[in-house]
Each structure stands twice: as structure tokens, then as C-alpha cells.
Structure 1
Amino acid sequence: MKNSHFEFNIFGTCKRISEGIHEPEKMEQFSTFLNGITKNITTKNVNNRRINHGREATNALAKEARKNGLLLTSSGNVNAEWSSNYVSAYSKGGNKGSNQDSFIVWESFGGKEDVMFCGVFDGHGPWGHVVGKRVKKVYPAYLLHYWREASSQRSILINGDQFAMWKKSFMKACSTVDYDLELHPIIDSFYSGTAGLTLVREGDLLVVANVGDSRAVLGTTSDDGSLVAVQLTVDFKPNLPQESERIYKAGGSVCEAEDELGVSRIRASNEETTEGPGLALSRAFGDYFFKDFGLISEPDVIQRTITTRDRFVILASDGVWDVVSNEKAVEIVSAASEKDESSKRLVDYAAGQWKRKRPGFCVDDISVVCLFFHSTSSQQVESD
């Protein structure tokens, strides 16, 4: 009888991949394989316990921040008396069902007065609203855990580079968030996921990490004193050259449906799933069906040093950017008579543009976070 070599996957099943290997060699390979798996599982268990302990500590900090009015997850504003930040945030569901958008604003992130964290999450798919809320809950904890880890190794690993520490922390946090979703015993993320646009301000350093097609736009003053819009992030759509190249290499395809001209989607291109669902973004948390066809959850992380010219930054889901230009959004936020009305004004305007520009289409869910850099208001925190 011919000997066979089998490849095992994480579910314990196996498939034949070659023949002609002698029994002793096969047993030696299998033993090595088991030793490797045991070591890997042990390492992961230790890491998971350490991370979970960090999450417990972060949850306690979050509870305290919410108690003190420094953590916001529903429409309202945050303006701590000792901070130069002022945040206005607002979310409104469209007419497609449950609002799958969510956001978080956390002043004094991790107990540090000079650090702020903001995030906008745009869910999609049958479980999109649940996936978005889950990511909103665990993302700050993982990020804080890895940032503290990087800070403790500052001189050894990254030479004290502030941005390098945040970038490293964001990269690890996004990977762990995606892993957390995949292993969740209740949430079904196979055909559901979320975009995640997050921001950290530490002093004058602004760090933005983007997974998906939400967008960050800066309102800043030009040399002639006029207000201009600067797009800080890339909308990660499947038709972007670097994204489509990765998708095709992974065995996926990028195409437009006849009834959705201008909307590119990732689709599986193998014989077993020639049709199947499509996904209109090239990076997302969850959506594990598409992870085999080029979808990734790796963030694009950028930095900017805030100057006296920079007035505010807008974080918004694509419910805004599909119908509103960067310039118009900056104009609306700047024209608000009160800062706490700025996000609602932009959301309401975008909702009206959906009805005007795309009649017959469902109005998308819309979420906006406006972070003003040089607040002089002494107004206290308010929320719905």
C-alpha cells in the first residue's frame, strides 16, 4: 500500500497532498507538527490571558471615564475643562433597517489627560450592527494594551519614536480585533463586517488608522487665510490599483454589477462560487468569506503634527462622502454657529443629499465625529 502525507488544518480535518513518504518519516513529521501546535496554543493562551487582563483594566478605566463624562458613544459632545479638544458627534440611521454605524470618543484615553481616542465604525451585512458594536468595544482595549506594551519597551524597540509606537500598536490591535471576531462564539462575521476609522491625538501628534472606506478630512487655514479641506485617509475600495492587485493575487476578482455602475466589489472567482455576494470595500474587520479572496484588516496608519492653522478634523462614514465633497463638509462644520451642532448639521445635510442626488436609493446610515483642536469653550460634557 502506498504511503501518504496529510496536511492538517485547525479544524482537525486533513487532505492528501503527496505520496511515497515512508512511515517513520511520516510519524516524525506528525510528531514535529503536534509539538509545534502545542507550543503555538500554549503561547497563544498565555498571550490571551495577558491581553484579557489588560482588557479588564481598560474596561475599568472606560467605566470611570464614562462616569466623568469623558467617554461618549451616543450623539453629544465632549469638552473637558482642562483640554484643548472639543468634540461633537452625531449618528443617524438611514432607511435600510437598524443603524449599523457606531462611534466612540474617549477623552483622557487610558487615564492620560493629553491623549484622546476617536473611532467611527460602519457595519455591513446581516450582522453588521453587532459586528460594529463589538469592534467599538474591544478596539480601544487592545490598542491601549499594545501601546502600553510599546511604551514600556520604548528605548529597546523603537527608539522612543512616538508615531512608531502608535503605528505598531494600531497594527497589532487591528489584527487582534479581527482574531477576536473570528473566534466569537455568537457573532456570525462570515458575511458581515465593519469598516473602522480611528484616531489618536497625543499632544500635537495626530495619528489616524483606517480600515475600510470611511474618511478623515482636515479643516485647515491656507496662506491667504481661507479654510481648505485636506483628505488625510484613502477610501479603500476594491478598484484601487494596489488593492485590486492583492485581490487578484489571492484568487478574487473585482467587478461592477449592471445595476450598480461605479460601485466595484470583491467577488470570489473560483469555480465553486462564481456568483456569491460582493463586498464594496477592500479592507474590513470580519467578512471572513472574503479573507480568502484578498480582503484584509490591516490599517493604513498616517501621522500629522497639528499646527495653529489646523482647526478641526472630521471623521465620517461613507454615508457622508458618497454624497458630500470634502470641501462642502469642511464648509458646513466651520459655518456651524455652535460647535456642538457641527456634526448634526453635516449629518442632516448628507441625508438630504441622498434624497436629492440618489432618488430611489436607500439613504445610508451616517455618522460624524468632529474634533476641534483649539477649543476655548468652557462648556461641559453633554450627551443624549
Structure 2
Amino acid sequence: MMKTSQIRSNYQAKKIYMPRALGVKEYAFYDDINIQYRQTMEDGFFIADNFLDDGGKSILFGVLDGHGGSDVVEFVKQNFTKEFSDEYKKTPKDVVDVLKRTFLRVDELVKQKCKSQEVGSTACIGFIRLEEAKRVLYIANVGDTAGLVLDDTQAHNVTIEHKASNPREIERIKKAGGSVIYDRVAGVLAVSRAFGDHSLRNFGVIAQPDVTRMELRMIHKYLVVASDGLWDVVIPKEVLEVSKLKSNSEEVAAELLKRALLNGSRDNTSVMVLRLN
């Protein structure tokens, strides 16, 4: 068993701030292993700014939260961008379908390349591009990694939580021949959609994401994407309050991470903040 001090020295917390981004005004990413409760880091993220090489009007990004290990997280982190690019070239006009196809394609590759029977990852992945002079956000998720768009007065949920306790997911799982026991799929997994977890596919776990399309306006200031280490203990109202108190994406990300830990999060915590306007 590793000592706490050894774990700390082997883990490098990420603090990233890009004050002059291209696809968005700026972005930041902060994470923490939450050493009191977790000995390994199973979260991950990626950001591909100027994704379409279109002069900085596009960006692809995601936050991942693994369970059972980090193998699936690492594979998705390394491969999603390429697979999305390949699918995008086929049907660039239909980003919703591109995202759905990419999730399923990456999940199939996970099955082929990883030991993913009992290892998986939730994900929240977004793409912003210009469409006829309008900036549009597409955001796809599986599991309980989620996103919020913030303006001056509201926090807008742009993802759907896929937990086995969700009535919509319970109905879907039962129709697929699966079962939910004590708010877990087959009594095992608390989330109902994820990359990996292939031993539970016959019980209702799927990698098909929900996808939201949102036209961004000048009132939309921040997009916050985070693992459930944040969402389990920090409500949208508090996220909105933090965004009003801080002056940039780095300050917002740092404060949200701090509050998650102070509020008693028991999980790895990752927070990505993109300033939209």
C-alpha cells in the first residue's frame, strides 16, 4: 500500500489557463485527485482549439470520468479527436449525428483495444463552430459528467444525467431486458451510459449519448464542464454565483474546484471553464 505522501508526489494536479484562445475567448482546466478519498486519478480531459483549422472559429473539448480504472479514459482522451474528425468529414452539416456516430465508434474501439469488461468512463464532450454567422454549441454526454451554460441570471443545463436512478433511464433499461437494483444497473453500476463497461451491455448500459444543440448569444458568458466530483456537491445556483464573483475562466475554475473539496466531494474532481463572451 502506498503512503499518502508517495501518492501526492506521484500525482501532478493540472492547472491550465489559456487567456487568448481561438474557438472561445479563453479557457481553463483545474483538477484534483481528492487524496483523502481517492488514491488514483481516473478523470481526464482534452481540448483541440481551432479544430477545423478555420482561423479560430471552432473548438472540440471534453471531460472524462473513469471508473474501475483509467484505461478507458486514457484511450478516449487519445482517440476521440481523430475519430470525430473522420466522422465529421463524412457529414459536416449534421454535427448531432457526427457526435453520436463518434461515441459509438470510439466505444467499439475501446472494446477492441482495452480491457473494458468492468472498466468504463462517463464523458461530456462539446464542439463549437460558426454556422451562418452564428456560433453554435453542440454538447454530448454519457453518464453524470455534465455541462452548464451561464449568463448573468441563469444556469442552463445542456446535458442529461444518465444515472440508473433516472426514471427515463430505468424505463429504457427495463425495455432492453435489464434491471435496476438499489439504483444501480444489475445492482452494479450507478451510471446507465458510458464508454466501456462491456460486461453490462446486455443489462442496459449503452454508449449512445444525448446531444444538445444551442445557438450561443452575447448573453452567454461561460460554459462549465465537470465531472461529478463537482456536481455531487455544488449546485448550478452556486456555480452561477461563482461566475459573477470572478473575472475570468481561471478564477472560476479554481474557485469551483475549491468549493467542491470544501463541500465534501469524495471523488476525483475536474472542472473545465470556457469563456464564451
The two structures have a TM-score, normalised by structure 2, of 0.88
Pick from 73, 81, 104 the counterpart of residue 132 of structure 1: 73
**Is the aligned partner of 1:366 residue 2:276?**
no
Identity, in percent, stands at 27
Q: AA paired with 1:215?
A: A
SS at match of 2:218: coil
From the CA coordinates, give the structure whose radius of gyration is larger: 1
Higher relative contact order (CA 8 A, sep 6+): 2
**Is the aligned partner of 1:307 residue 2:248?**
no
Structure with greater helix share of residues: 1
Q: Return the alpha-carbon distance in structure 1 between the equivalents of residues 23 and 171 of structure 2.
A: 44
Q: Return the alpha-carbon distance in structure 2 between the equivalents of residues 191 and 210 of structure 1.
A: 20
Q: Return the alpha-carbon distance in structure 1 between the equivalents of residues 22 and 223 of structure 2.
A: 20
**What are the within-5 Å matches in structure 2 for residues 25-40 of structure 1?**
none
Q: Return the alpha-carbon distance in structure 2 between the equivalents of residues 84 and 266 of structure 1.
A: 38
Q: Equivalent residue for 1:102?
A: 44
1:131 Cα offset (Å): 1.1
Spell out, residue by residue over 1:92-149, the C-alpha distance to the aligned partner (whole angstroms, 9 max, x if none).
1123221111111221014232111110000001x2x121111111111111111112
Spell out, residue by residue over 1:27-82, the C-alpha distance to the aligned partner (whole angstroms, 9 max, x if none).
xxxxxxxxxxxxxxxxxxxxxxxxxxxxxxxxxxxxxxxxxxxxxx9430224366
SS at match of 2:154: strand
1:181 Cα offset (Å): 0.7
Q: AA paired with 2:121?
A: T
Q: Equivalent residue for 2:184?
A: 265
Q: Return the alpha-carbon distance in structure 1 between the equivalents of residues 270 and 226 of structure 2.
A: 6
Q: AA paired with 1:138?
A: N
Q: Return the alpha-carbon distance in structure 1 between the equivalents of residues 173 and 155 of structure 2.
A: 31
Q: Return the alpha-carbon distance in structure 1 between the equivalents of residues 127 and 23 of structure 2.
A: 14
Q: Return the alpha-carbon distance in structure 2 between the equivalents of residues 206 and 246 of structure 1.
A: 27
In structure 2, stretches of 5+ residues that fail to align are: 1-12
**Is the aligned partner of 1:197 residue 2:140?**
no
Q: AA paired with 1:179?
A: E
1:246 Cα offset (Å): 2.1
Q: Equivalent residue for 1:174?
A: 103
The structure-2 alpha-carbon separation of the partners of 1:244 and 1:171, relative to structure 1 and needing over 3 Å to count, comes to same
Spell out, residue by residue over 1:304-328, the C-alpha distance to the aligned partner (whole angstroms, 9 max, x if none).
1111111111101111111110010
Structure 1 residues 77-86 or 199-208, which shifts more?
77-86
CA contact (8 A) 1:333 1:346 kept: no
The two structures have a TM-score, normalised by structure 1, of 0.64
Q: Equivalent residue for 2:140?
A: 209
The structure-2 alpha-carbon separation of the partners of 1:255 and 1:197, relative to structure 1 and needing over 3 Å to count, comes to same
Q: Equivalent residue for 2:167?
A: 241
Q: Equivalent residue for 1:48?
A: none
Q: AA paired with 1:319?
A: G
Pick from 221, 241, 255 the counterpart of residue 331 of structure 1: 241
CA contact (8 A) 2:14 2:32 kept: no
* Alignment length (residue pairs): 258
Q: Equivalent residue for 2:66?
A: 123
CA contact (8 A) 1:197 1:214 kept: yes
Pick from 72, 78, 87 the counterpart of residue 146 of structure 1: 87
SS at match of 2:207: coil
The structure-2 alpha-carbon separation of the partners of 1:240 and 1:339, relative to structure 1 and needing over 3 Å to count, comes to closer
1:249 Cα offset (Å): 2.6
CA contact (8 A) 1:238 1:266 kept: yes
1:84 Cα offset (Å): 4.6
Q: AA paired with 2:270?
A: S
CA contact (8 A) 1:333 1:343 kept: no
The structure-2 alpha-carbon separation of the partners of 1:336 and 1:124, relative to structure 1 and needing over 3 Å to count, comes to same
Q: AA paired with 2:127?
A: V
Q: Return the alpha-carbon distance in structure 2 between the equivalents of residues 305 and 350 of structure 1.
A: 29
Q: AA paired with 2:97?
A: K
Structure 1 residues 331-340 or 235-244, which shifts more?
331-340
**Is the aligned partner of 1:78 residue 2:5?**
no
CA contact (8 A) 2:24 2:59 kept: no
Pick from 219, 222, 232 the counterpart of residue 322 of structure 1: 232
The structure-2 alpha-carbon separation of the partners of 1:219 and 1:318, relative to structure 1 and needing over 3 Å to count, comes to same
Q: Return the alpha-carbon distance in structure 2 between the equivalents of residues 103 and 242 of structure 1.
A: 28
In structure 1, stretches of 5+ residues that fail to align are: 1-72, 152-161, 222-226, 257-263, 268-276, 356-362, 375-384
Q: AA paired with 2:58?
A: V
